[in-house]
Structure 1
């Protein structure tokens, strides 16, 4: 519950401190005194948008601090712990502070820690619900009516399941649509790749093959020249009967050998010549084998020439070098396989998408059934509540229309209409057609009371929700708020004595001026002061004995 609020330099408020209690607190005051200022300040503290004109003239900044007792609010304490904003030394208390400079800069704090406005709003929604003067008009909108019904039904699990099923279907549907949109392009690409891959499969070049083709091509193309080179070399080395390198080396070797005993220094030369003779002999043997292995094969040469030329042609076609043709072949084959898989996946995805849609429809229908059950109960409860507010013939009928052929939505496929009749013989219809402003205000109040109970909001704030009602109806509304205040904290700005008299506590708002500046004050009224204030509300500024007697009667004094 809200324990205390401290307001500084907010519009015409210089400094106001309010200590609040459980039960119904009625706020009254003269017209124009600023009865709603405290509520506006509270709304700002809880995350509402800040304007520069909210800062009191002559001040540097406005500051509002709200103090809450969260001892029994387990969801609030869990949220604070999750956000690491709980006070370790006193987890049962929570302070929200909002500061707005005259330049419009805004800062927010929870338990002294700087936070974002979204965090303040998230916490504020768990602590207080503020119902403004015209907020009952929100229940004319279908989306707000649906939110009301879902809150009343308390089927968060069904909502979460429907949203999850919708998200799954939506993701698959987008993927399927993308595949279907690109299907023709994909088919064209598959046909092209089919031709290219078949051509490369037939050629079947392997890694390193082109390099070997170049070597073989050059060799076969120069085979005659290589044979001649080998023959000539063998002739020079050994086959020339008149003079060859081997015989000359042997002659020199024999001459040195004959003189080794004469001069030992010839040993080194002798060994080198021996090595030379051996190497020449080996070279001759290798060249002989090489020569015998060289054969002219026109068919082989033609085959290599053709494959070499084909490799060059294919590499030009695919914009690559012949050495990388095998790599291009592999990449195209992989792409071809992937696109074929995509075609198969398209069929599977179509079935999967259909299954996801069926799953979503099932969850949405379960949500619809839950809404139908809740709608009947909600209609009866709203009708009973507004019947007590001097609308004895009121009838409420909440219709839920389910369309399982409609486009999926995260909140299901239901349309809601709250139909109302307040006069005998009048057929139920949408509210804006059959109820007056005062009647709508009563319906809105009934809904707010029901919603506050279902949402377990500890503090309810009503800003002149009794506008458009009077007399017996005002008394009934006051009793309703009093009853609501018995189970939670209720703060109500009112101009009706019947409502104010039902308050467990009463605050009076007054405006003071010295001709230069204006300041709003909020006073807590004693029993005697309450009598005078209720009498003023009954009779105007002139307090008569009759008005005072009526005030005491309303206050049951």
Structure 2
């Protein structure tokens, strides 16, 4: 609930502190005194748009702060906790507006975007202006009120779930269908490429072996001649070869080692070199003797190697990547096949989702019809209590015969009313005046009181256009509403003002140069005087005082 409101340099307010009580608070005052100024200030604390003229003349900025008790408001506490702003059981909304129109917003001392101020504000307070009753003639608001009364959020969630499922599947099918021609063209190209690579059938790592074989075969004659020369030079040439020369040198150096021991190590190195050269010579000779040049095999290798190079060039990749590229194309082709399978399957999925939606929507519709019957009777009864004795109220629910799917179900909800005997039921905005709509709206608020999430309701002159017994009943209804939630009501009616548990008086003071608005909590005697003024005007009489006391005692 709202605990405190502090206003500094706002409009014609210099400084103001208001403490609010549980139950019903009424705000009264002379015309033009600024009875709605506290409501306007609260609106800014809740995230309303600020304009430059809200700052008091000759002041640099306006500061507004509203303090709320969140002890019993689990929704607000959860929001504050989620956003790391939880501060015991208090929530302080603060707004600072400069004379130039710049604005800063704070929640429990943390500066926040205006959007966050609006989010938390919706969980703390709900302001009904004198024209807000016009909302109830809108189809969406009528459906929302009925759903709130019916308390079937789980049915709404189920309809919403299947609607979104159906919509996502429908969108997926549309995309698949629209791209079908493109997919078919690309699939044909892929199939051709895969067939070509399937026919060639190059294996992973095969190209490296193929390239080695190709180089050996294409340079075979050169390899033969050069290896023969090397074998001759190393060991086969009788006139001179490396093996004989190394052996002779090793023997000579070993003999000299008898004279100088330092030469023995060199002799050993020459012997080791001799062994390695002999081994290399034998291996090279064996390689030479085993090397066979097969022109037929070379032709096959050359053909396969050339084909691999050409295919790689065609696909703009390196030849050694051709086999993995082949696998990649195969996977893409399989995806196209799965798309076609999905396109076949998705129509069944869409139909299943649609059937589940229709079942959920029908269940929701049945619940709405049951709630509509009860709510229609209750509002009709309340209309009679609010001086519309011949009034009838009926909630009409029609299902969409075109099977048009909607996130809110398949129902069209319409509020119909008749205010005179023999008058047919018609849309409320056609048969009810603004005042009558306001009373019907108030009746709904009272009936839905136990469904209200926000713990504070503010009514800003919603009783305009009514008087007499009707005004008394409006006051009674507001007081009844205040049993479940904090109610703040700006009013000009004594019958309404007298029902408050707390009454605030708004006055405008001026010294000829400066004007200032003040708000005072009235004492018991002050309330008698103010109610008498509302009854009789400026000339308060004994009768008006007696009537005021009677109203306050009622």
Shorter-chain TM-score: what band? 0.7 to 0.9
- Contact 1:153–1:374, Cα closer than 8 Å, also in 2: yes
Query: Match for 1:365 among 362, 367, 387?
Result: 362
Secondary structure of the residue that 1:39 maps to in structure 2? helix
Alpha-carbon contact 2:449-2:484 (below 8 Å) kept: no
* Pairing 1:247-286 to 2, within 5 Å after superposition: 249=244
Uncovered stretches (5+) of structure 2, i.e. residues with no partner: none
**Per the alignment, in what secondary structure is the counterpart of residue 409 of structure 1?**
coil
Given that residues 87 and 108 in structure 2 are in contact (C-alpha distance below 8 angstroms), is that contact kept between their aligned partners in structure 1?
yes
Alpha-carbon distance in structure 1 between the residues aligned to 2:270 and 2:7 = 116
Distance in 2, matches of 1:207 and 1:119, equals 59
Number of residue equivalences: 551
1:166-177 → structure 2 map (5 Å cutoff): 166-177=163-174
1:58 positional shift: 1.6
Distance in 1 between residues matched to 2:217 and 2:501, nearest whole Å: 114
Cα distance change of structure 1 residues 510 and 280 upon mapping to structure 2, 3 Å threshold: closer
How far apart, in 2, do the equivalents of 1:369 and 1:111 lie?
45
Deviations 1:329-350 (A, max 9, x none): 2222222223223333333444
Deviations 1:54-103 (A, max 9, x none): 11112222222333344444444454444443434xx3x44333322223
What residue number does 1:58 align with?
58
Q: 2 CA distance for matches of 1:322 and 1:361?
A: 58
**Separation of aligned partners in 2, 1:11 and 1:307:** 91
In the alignment, what sits opposite 2:129? 132
Partner of 1:196: 193
- Tell me how far apart the structure 2 counterparts of residues 61 and 50 of structure 1 sit (CA, whole Å): 12
Q: Distance in 2 between matches of 1:332 and 1:481?
A: 74
CA shift at 1:134, angstroms? 0.4
Match of 2:87 in 1: 87
Paired with 1:517 and 1:274, the residues of 2 have a C-alpha distance of 120
Q: Distance in 1 between matches of 2:220 and 2:468?
A: 124
Matched, 1:537 2:534: yes
Name the SS for the 1:541 alignment partner: coil
The aligned counterpart of 1:68 is 68
Deviation string 1:226-246 (CA, Å, 9 cap, x unpaired) is 555566677788888xx6547
Contiguous gaps of at least 5 residues in structure 1 = none
User: Could you tell me which residue of structure 2 aligns to residue 25 of structure 1?
Assistant: 25
Q: Does 1:148 align with 2:145?
A: yes
Measure, in 2, the Cα distance between the counterparts of 1:128 and 1:134. 18
Work out whether residues 26 and 502 of structure 2, in 8 Å CA contact, stay in contact via their aligned partners in 1.
yes
Counterpart CA distance in 1 for 2:454 and 2:268 is 112
Say if 1:238 and 1:413 are closer, same or farther in 2 by CA, change over 3 A.
Answer: same
* Conserved? CA contact 1:361–1:404, under 8 Å: no
Instruction: Label 1:277 to 1:45 Cα distance change in 2 as closer, same or farther (>3 A).
Output: closer
CA distance in 2, matches of 1:466, 1:345: 61
Query: Which SS does the other structure have where 1:95 is aligned?
Result: strand
1:384 paired residue among 381, 385, 399: 381
Q: How does 1:236-251 map to 2 (within 5 A)?
A: 244-245=239-240, 249=244
Q: Which residue of 1 aligns with 2:11?
A: 11
Residues 387 and 237 of structure 1: CA distance in aligned 2, closer, same or farther (over 3 Å): closer
Q: In 2, are the aligned partners of 1:126 and 1:457 still within 8 Å (CA)?
A: yes
User: Aligned ranges for residues 332-481 of structure 1 at < 5 Å?
Assistant: 332-403=329-400, 406-481=403-478
Report the alpha carbon displacement of residue 139 of structure 1 after superposing the two structures with TM. Answer: 0.8
**Separation of aligned partners in 1, 2:271 and 2:35:** 125
Aligned equivalent of 1:510:
507
Equivalence for 1:312: 309
Provide Cα deviations, 1:31-57, integer angstroms capped at 9, x if missing partner: 111111111112222222222211111
Distance 2:266 2:476 in 1: 134
Cα pair distance change 1:420/1:295, threshold 3 Å: same
Q: What is the rounded CA distance, in whole Å, between the counterparts of 1:525 and 1:264 in structure 2?
A: 133
Alpha carbons 2:243, 2:274 under 8 Å: kept:
no
**8 Å contact 2:446–2:480 — kept in the other structure?**
no
Question: TM-score under structure 2 normalisation?
Answer: 0.87
Structure-2 change in CA distance of 1:232 and 1:407 (3 Å)? same
Contact kept, 8 Å, 1:246 with 1:277, in 2: the verdict is: no
Alignment partners' CA distance in 2, 1:276 and 1:79: 86
**In 2: Cα distance, 1:86 partner to 1:229 partner:** 88
Task: List per-residue Cα deviations over 1:391-418 (Å, max 9, x = no partner).
Answer: 1111111122233754543333322111
CA RMSD, 1 decimal: 3.6
Distance 1:528-1:340 versus aligned 2 partners, 3 A rule? same
Match of residue 40 from structure 1: 40
What's the TM-score, normalizing by structure 1? 0.86
Q: CA deviation at 1:269?
A: 11
Task: Compute the displacement of 1:546 (Å).
Answer: 4.3
- Aligned counterparts of 1:248 and 1:40: Cα–Cα separation in 2: 111
Cα distance in 2 for residues equivalent to 1:532 and 1:111: 39
Q: How do 1:541-552 and structure 2 match up within 5 A?
A: 541-552=538-549
Matched position secondary structure for 1:419 = strand
